[in-house]
């Protein structure tokens, strides 16, 4: 089996995805999208994050039991849910002003800690997940395992905290 070099593609995708997410917060909202109701997208995003989390948990269970085809299926499913999430997330944030967190006290501190760690690790997971997948696709199992030890817990954290961030901020969405 011929090895494919995905390195350039991974770095381009990492920069493009993280760049688009940053632009969604700093550019003016796209006026041609103003007539549409995107108010349900944050809930959809939380559901997609939850589905990603459960797909990754099944993938982890599968690989621990040496069920490689099942592992591969659920990792691809997690990538699919994450890709749908990314599209929905960008659509929402390019069209809708950001919601401010309105809570106070200890919950406010928890919210911002979770949000900051989520954002930082979400930016990091893009390249980690893509490299992990590339090593797996190229049958570079030692490299795949080495990076997957970092990728899996970080991706699980990001997908779980994506749901948590939604639950914490959802009372402040304007419907």
Kindly tell me the burial class for residue 11, based on how many C-beta atoms sit within 10 Å of its own C-beta (0-12, 13-18, 19 or more): middle
N-to-C CA span, the chain? 53
The pTM of this model reads 0.93
Yes or no: say if 71 and 148 are a contact pair by the CB < 8 Å rule: no
Task: Identify the H or E element spanning 16.
Answer: helix 7-26
Per-residue model confidence as pLDDT tens digits over 42-101: 999 999 999 999 999 999 999 999 999 999 999 999 999 999 999 999 999 999 988 999
Q: Which two tokens stand for residue 1?
A: 């089996």
Q: Determine the pLDDT at residue 147.
A: 98
Domain locations along the chain: 38-172
Confidence class for position 17, pLDDT limits 50, 70, 90: very high
Strand ranges for 11-149 from DSSP E: none
């Amino acid at each position: 089996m011929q090895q494919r070099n995905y390195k350039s593609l991974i770095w381009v995708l990492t920069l493009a995805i993280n760049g688009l997410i940053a632009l969604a917060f700093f550019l003016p909202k796209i006026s041609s999208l103003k007539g549409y109701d995107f108010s349900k997208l944050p809930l959809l995003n939380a559901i997609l994050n939850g589905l990603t989390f459960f797909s990754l948990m099944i993938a982890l269970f599968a690989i621990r039991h040496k069920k490689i085809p099942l592992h591969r299926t659920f990792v691809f499913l997690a990538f699919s849910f994450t890709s749908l999430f990314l599209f929905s997330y960008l659509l929402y944030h390019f069209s809708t002003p950001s919601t401010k967190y309105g809570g106070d006290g200890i919950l406010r501190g928890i919210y911002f800690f979770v949000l900051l760690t989520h954002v930082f690790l979400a930016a990091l997971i893009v390249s980690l997940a893509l490299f992990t997948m590339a090593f797996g696709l190229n049958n570079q199992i030692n490299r795949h395992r080495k990076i997957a030890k970092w990728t899996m817990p970080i991706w699980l954290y990001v997908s779980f905290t994506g749901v948590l961030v939604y639950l914490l901020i959802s009372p402040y969405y304007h419907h």
